[in-house]
Amino acid sequence: MIHSDYLTGVFIPQVTQFDKMFSETVFPPFADPEARANKVAQDYWDQKMSEPVAEFGRDEDPGDVADAAHQKSIDFYETMTAMHHTVVNLFTAGVFHLSWRLPPPPSRGRRSA
């Protein structure tokens, strides 16, 4: 049967390669958005706390820095999760387009009228 030959010889290897590319190349940056967001907050905190204190200027309240770091973390997390969903949806559309190229199944004993 041509259809099953196409499935096993062409379509399944394409989907397998597509899955491998997604799992190894595309998905890893989105694997742990919470840890990456925490790192964004910590890096911001560390950078602000290492700045020199102003002699005649306004000192920055550590509570304000903590709030800003937390907000940066939330912003990063929301962006990463939105990008994650977008990439998954794009790859889902890609699998659909792979399946769209499937030839029609062979007719089984049907007679044309």
DSSP code at position 74: H
User: Can you say how many angstroms the Cα of residue 99 is from the centroid of all Cα atoms in its chain?
Assistant: 22
Question: CA 77, CA 83: separation in Å to the nearest integer?
Answer: 10
pLDDT (tens digit per residue) in 12-36: 888 899 899 988 998 898 889 999 9
pLDDT (tens digit per residue) in 51-69: 887 776 677 888 999 999 9
The structure tokens listed for 23 are 């799992």
